[in-house]
């Protein structure tokens, strides 16, 4: 078993990053009381920011800029409004894209003592109805974009608040149709705190659950429950491997309803950063943000910064202020690491984890540059084992299923019938990997993606990584398909570049390229050309749509 150090690493990491001690005696004086009341939550970070740097810009989104003072006050006002609804226990569902439409409810949860359910924005009406019933959600905050997806047959007794109103807060270029509604707007609620002056927030609010939803490609998405973090020592690993510091300006393109984006919001506010974000990702808009605001860091997923590189081949945007790209959510291929280094410099750091288990490991920019396949150092306070199918621990260097546990791990699913896959208290992350001689974790692919072709193990991710190096390929996905002769074979889906190399791609040229770089059993049986790959908001390919 690999067991990383815990508490002893956290305080030094927070001091070195400037998060502790960045704002002098005042920050230190209010810290114990805020921790006691709110733990390490979005409410706590706003309360600390309000006490130490109230006029600093906390968030720049599609609506504009908002200070720590105003974001804190708006969150408290929304929390008071929730308390007026007369609910015995506030179980707030939030279906929103990046911006104050999701950040304000995150903080209001802590002030009001609610539980929060961050709903997947790709969920269908039927999936939403299932999640609302399964979780007992009794109040909803949604972007108006999703009003038409609300299961109206079960909303008679559930208050709905519009977190983002396209008509008054949008850019006018949104690629979606907004359905008419009669729901109250969050911006109107927070604009009139005087109407809620007599409502008192709890001095020591109840610490409700945080529930994040799985991608939920079929059926009701799994609701992954976790408690408010009390002393999340895994933060030491993130702050120790990523040059993420206090008082920076940071872009978040990772989806905030998902684990990586949710964590980034809290870390960014905890570092008193100015966070820049948008509801809808556009690569040139993000590049312009970096130049305009002289951003120092970006928290993202591979699909997003890959699109940024492709959108700016002439490097017309000045991104020289960018000191780090913190990546998570998808595998990073060696070719993508090379492309990032050519465009932005050797600043790519990698964090690895899952919705169920949050952070498992993280790699510095230097480690990624030396070995693009590394997932890095095991997170502080984490127990991790590599197990074979027989449940026994694999020797160092041998591939097995990754099991781990730390304080940020799930406590269960909202559906009690769904079982957590465990082994001696450790939880499966669902991936295959191994530990190298430097005690670094390497991930080779999803455990359920591995296929056996003629008796040989094939990881589709290895095929993706090879084809990403092939000239003319803009995007690619590989997975197993059934085969009459060998029971399974690899199939690939390819998006061509618009250049001559892309137009000259053929089924056979792609098979030949794989054959030249991998064993014969990895050569794809099927090659499908598409205009684009279907990806969810976190950047992952949705296999059922292929």
The model's confidence at residue 6, banded by pLDDT at 50, 70 and 90, is low
Contact of 270 with 318, CB cutoff 8 Å: no
Q: Which of 113, 165, 163, 160 has the alpha carbon at shortest distance from 139?
A: 160
**Cα–Cα distance measured from residue 213 to residue 255, given in angstroms and rounded to the nearest whole number:** 12
Using pLDDT thresholds of 50, 70 and 90, give the confidence band for residue 190. Answer: very high
Q: How far apart are CA 121 and CA 213, in angstroms?
A: 10
134 alpha-carbon distance from chain centroid: 23
**Predicted TM-score (pTM) of this structure:** 0.91
Which tokens sit at 408? Answer: 């940020």
pLDDT of residue 42: 96
DSSP H or E run through 25 = helix 24-38
Query: What is the pLDDT confidence band of residue 217, given thresholds at 50, 70 and 90?
Result: low
Q: Is the pLDDT of residue 11 over 80?
A: no
With cut-offs at 50, 70 and 90, classify the pLDDT of residue 512. very high
**Which two three-digit tokens encode residue 8?**
């002893």
Q: Does residue 452 carry a pLDDT above 90? A: no
Distance CA 463, CA 88 (A): 53
- Per residue in 409-443, pLDDT (tens digit) is 999 999 999 889 999 999 999 999 999 999 999 99
* pLDDT at position 16 over 90: no
Using DSSP, how many helices (H) and how many strands (E) does the chain show? 17, 27
pLDDT of residue 23: 59
Residue 119, both tokens: 């709903």
The average pLDDT across 185-202 equals 98
For each of the domains in the chain, give its residue range(s) and CATH number, in order of start: 1-37+232-446 (3.40.50.12780), 39-224 (3.40.50.980), 451-545 (3.30.300.30)
Alpha-carbon distance of 441 to 433, in angstroms, equals: 7
**Contact in structure between 529 and 494 (CB atoms under 8 Å):** yes
Q: Which of 477, 487, 486 is nearest to 528 (CA)?
A: 477
Condensed to tens digits (0 to 9), the pLDDT of residues 466-510 reads: 999 999 999 999 999 888 777 789 999 999 999 999 999 999 999
Most confident of 8-12, 132-136, 459-463: 132-136
Helix (H) or strand (E) holding 74, with range, is helix 68-83
Closest by CA to 442, choosing from 514, 363, 506, is 363
CB-based contacts of 509, cutoff 8 Å, min separation 6 = none
Is residue 15 over pLDDT 70? no
Residue 481 to residue 463: CA distance in whole angstroms: 14
The tokens describing 77, both together, are: 């006002």
pLDDT number for residue 8: 58
- Work out the percent of the chain whose per-residue pLDDT is above 70: 94
- What stretches of 228-376 show up as alpha helix (H) in DSSP? 234-241, 259-270, 283-293, 302-311, 334-344, 365-370
Q: Is pLDDT of 403 > 60?
A: yes
Question: Residue 75: which H helix or E strand, with range?
Answer: helix 68-83
Per-residue pLDDT, 285: 97
Alpha helices in 165-232 (DSSP H): 166-169, 186-190
Kindly give, in sequence order, each residue whose CB lies less than 8 Å from that of residue 206, ignoring residues fewer than 6 positions away. 113
Average pLDDT score over the chain = 92
Burial tier of 62 (Cβ tally within 10 Å: 0-12, 13-18, 19+): buried
Question: What confidence tier does 5 reach under pLDDT thresholds 50, 70, 90?
Answer: low
Report the alpha-carbon distance of residue 256 to residue 235 in Å, rounded. 18
Q: Are 491 and 524 in contact (CB under 8 A)?
A: yes
Query: What gap in Å lies between CA 339 and CA 345, rounded to an integer?
Result: 9
Bridge-based pairing state of the strands 249-252 and 274-276: parallel
Q: What CA–CA distance (Å, rounded) separates 226 from 208?
A: 9
* CB 245, CB 274: distance < 8 Å: no
Q: Helix, strand or coil for residue 201? A: coil
Q: Are 60 and 276 in contact (CB under 8 A)?
A: yes
**Burial tier of 30 (Cβ tally within 10 Å: 0-12, 13-18, 19+):** middle
Per-residue pLDDT of 245-303, as tens digits, reads: 999 999 999 999 999 999 999 999 999 999 999 999 999 999 999 999 999 999 999 99
Helix (H, G, I), strand (E, B) or coil at 330: coil
* Rounded Cα gap, residues 157 and 34, in angstroms: 34
């Amino acid at each position: 078993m690999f067991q990383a150090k815990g508490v002893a690493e956290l305080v030094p990491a927070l001091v070195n990053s400037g998060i502790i001690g960045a704002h002098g005696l005042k920050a230190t004086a209010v810290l114990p009381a805020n921790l006691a009341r709110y733990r390490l939550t979005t409410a706590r970070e706003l309360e600390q920011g309000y006490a130490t740097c109230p006029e600093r810009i906390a968030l720049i989104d599609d609506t504009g800029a908002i200070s720590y003072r105003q974001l804190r006050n708006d969150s408290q006002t929304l929390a008071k409004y929730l308390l007026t609804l007369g609910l015995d226990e506030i179980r707030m569902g939030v279906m929103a894209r990046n911006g104050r439409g999701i950040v304000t409810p995150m903080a209001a949860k802590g002030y009001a003592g609610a539980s929060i359910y961050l709903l997947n924005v790709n969920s269908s009406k039927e999936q939403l109805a299932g999640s609302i019933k399964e979780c007992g959600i009794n109040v909803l905050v949604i972007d108006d974009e999703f009003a038409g997806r609300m299961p109206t047959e079960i909303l008679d007794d559930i208050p709905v608040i519009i977190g983002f109103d396209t008509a008054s807060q949008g850019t006018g270029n949104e690629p979606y149709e907004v359905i008419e509604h009669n729901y109250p707007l969050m911006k109107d609620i927070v604009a009139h705190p005087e109407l809620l002056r007599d409502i008192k927030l709890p001095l020591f609010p109840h610490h409700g659950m945080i529930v994040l939803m799985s991608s939920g490609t079929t059926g009701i998405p799994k609701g992954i429950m976790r408690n408010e973090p009390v002393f999340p020592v895994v933060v030491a690993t993130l702050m120790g491997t990523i040059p993420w510091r206090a008082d920076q300006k940071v872009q978040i393109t990772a989806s905030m309803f998902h684990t990586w984006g949710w964590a980034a919001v809290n870390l960014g506010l905890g570092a008193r950063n100015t966070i820049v974000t948008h509801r809808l990702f556009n690569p040139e808009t993000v590049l312009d943000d970096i130049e305009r605001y002289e951003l120092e860091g970006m928290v993202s997923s591979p699909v997003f910064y890959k699109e940024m590189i492709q959108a700016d081949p002439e490097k017309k945007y000045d991104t020289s202020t960018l000191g780090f790209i913190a990546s998570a959510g998808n595998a990073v291929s060696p070719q993508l690491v090379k492309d990032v280094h050519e465009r932005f410099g050797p600043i790519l750091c990698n964090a690895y984890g899952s919705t169920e288990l949050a952070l498992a490991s993280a790699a510095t920019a230097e480690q990624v540059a030396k070995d693009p396949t590394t997932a890095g150092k095991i997170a502080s306070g984490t127990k991790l084992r590599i197990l074979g199918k027989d449940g026994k621990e694999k020797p160092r260097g041998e591939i097995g299923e990754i099991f781990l546990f730390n304080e940020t791990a799930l406590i269960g699913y909202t559906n009690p019938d769904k079982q957590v896959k465990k082994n001696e208290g450790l939880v499966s992350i669902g991936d295959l990997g191994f530990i190298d001689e430097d005690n670094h974790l390497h991930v080779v692919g999803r455990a359920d993606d591995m296929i056996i072709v003629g008796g040989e193990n094939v990881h589709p991710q290895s095929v993706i990584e090879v084809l990403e190096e092939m000239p003319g390929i803009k995007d690619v996905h590989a997975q197993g398909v059934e085969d009459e002769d060998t029971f399974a074979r690899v199939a690939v889906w390819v998006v061509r570049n618009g250049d001559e190399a892309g137009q000259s791609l053929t089924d056979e040229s792609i098979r030949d390229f794989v054959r030249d770089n991998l064993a014969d059993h990895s050569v794809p049986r099927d090659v499908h050309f598409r205009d684009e790959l279907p990806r969810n908001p976190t950047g992952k390919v949705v296999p059922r749509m292929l």
